[in-house]
Copies of this chain bind each other. A is one copy, B any other.
Amino acid sequence: MLELRSYVGARWVAGTGAPQTLLNPTTEEPLAHASSEGIDLKAALEHARATGGPALRAMSFAERGAALKAIADAMQSEREALLELSIANGGNTRSDAKFDVDGAIATLLAYSEIASTLGNSRFLVDGEGIQLGRSARFHGQHIAVPRHGVAVHINAFNFPAWGFAEKAAVALLAGMPVLSKPATSSAMVACRIVELVAGGKLLPEGALSLLVGSARELVSHLGPQDVLAFTGSGETGAQLRASAAVINLSVRINIEADSLNAAVLGPDVEPRSDMYELFLKDVVRDMTQKAGQKCTAIRRVLVPQQYHSSVREDLVELLGAIRVGDPKNEDVRMGPLASRAQLEDVRRGVGRLEGKHVFGSPAPLGAKGFFISPILVEDPASAVHEHEVFGPVAALLRYKDDPAEIVARGAGGLVSSVYSDDQEFIDRMVTGLAPFHGRLYLGHPKIELSPGPGTVLPQLVHGGPGRAGGGEELGGPRGLAFYMQRVALEGSRPVIQKLLGK
């Protein structure tokens, strides 16, 4: 069987000890083994810091951007192979696989384009120069420089390609070497991408490392110039935030965790209108795309009292048309969950939501594979505002007065969406929802090819306060700040201007 290896210290290294087995979640057939036992994690980080860091810092933004483009191009040439791996190892339909792989390529290209606007510099100029005294000679200027550590990325199982790329593109462009740790169960796609980068020498030595298998004591080796970015459960996020390196050495940490994303239908939106149909389409897409295993998927569907039965009937009908099965089949719209652990977690979570199942049930589907049907829950318990069920599950909630107050019970989310043509209502929702979110999606039927709220775009920030982890990624050039140190230069204006190359 295939043995996945880690890429550390510019070498491919196999772990020792009892490996974890990666399965095809459709057939439960074993695909590969992986273990990180015996790998010198401290040396891996030190190599990245000592070799990859200086090499990246010697490159201009434009040169780093060219490297990102080369990675995107390499992925594009191997796209079919990556899609096949994604279907086999991730239980993805071809459409789901494209969402991951093409999203990764698009994100790399977006940051490559941002690089071209930053040009031949090696640091960022932050804002205008500031006159600090009565005379213009006493001058201040903020700049941002790459941190001298390594960026450790601990990624979620659901997007092995995109999750790798959305973090790595930003760190590499900022000038920090990356050690990427994919979730083991779906690591095959990420491994293949790193093989492309390493094999093609698309980055300087030490700029990209890969750790397959358990992270073991990795985080304990981090130091004050390192950063740690994590996407996954709130529970693991809290453990990482409580680690000694973060607490005592101020290792910078970014967490993207649980989110009870809401979709709010405005009271002005009549059934059968274009806005109404868009709302239904977005809800059903988010429930079933990637079998609901998206951190941005709609979990709470808020509808005005008077349209509640109409929405329920329409959603039940649309969900009934979703064919669940082997994602290799072209007419299948939803594949299995990614692993047995996820299946069990989702079934437990549906139990916590209580309420009435107006569509679907948490019973396993079929004799093989980690299948479950989409589930629409009505009149759920208050757990609907507290517990993220990471699968094809949403709850239908009716509101009378203020839906924003209901959404806010989620205590911080990545994205919520509003579907309304009433500017006063939209205004009120944005005011009420903005403090609790990293992104607000305002649905509009006239936007062609609208990706819906579940798609993260590299130009916009991704993250959210509170339960969502309190982090922020992407947002075009905004994402670079996490990997850089902002420093104020204070002194004589001519000296500072010479430093800036003016």
Contacts and interface: CB of A to CB of B under 8 A. Distances in A.
B255 A495 contact: no
Contacts of A491: 440-444, 447
Nearest to A463: B486
Given A145-B435, A440-B489, A499-B426, A137 B467 contact: no
Interface in A432-466: 434-444, 446-450, 453, 457, 459-461, 465-466
Interface residues of A, number: 82
A436 to B, nearest CB: 7
A487 B224 CA distance: 29
A439 B488 contact: yes
Among A448, A461, A485, A487, find the residue whose CB has the most chain B CB atoms closer than 10 A. Answer: A487
A438 B132 contact: no
Main secondary structure of the interface of A (DSSP, over half): mixed
Contacts of A431: 145
Contacts of A461: 142, 486-488
A74 interface: no
B495 A434 contact: no
B140 A442 contact: no
Given A140-B457, A224-B412, A490-B440, A465 B250 contact: yes
A133 B442 contact: no
Contact of A466 (B225, B487, B488): B225
B447 A137 contact: yes
Contacts of A442: 489-492, 495-496
A247 interface: yes
A242 interface: yes
A250 B412 contact: yes
Nearest to A149: B435
Contacts of A492: 442, 444, 446-447
13 contacts: A127-B478, A130-B476, A133-B448, A137-B444, A142-B460, A224-B470, A225-B436, A225-B466, A242-B242, A250-B412, A446-B492, A453-B490, A460-B490
Interface of A: 123, 127, 130, 132-135, 137-138, 140, 142-143, 145-148, 223-225, 234, 238, 241-242, 246-252, 255, 257, 411-412, 423, 426-427, 430-431, 434-444, 446-450, 453, 457, 459-461, 465-470, 472, 475-476, 478, 485-492, 495-496, 498-499
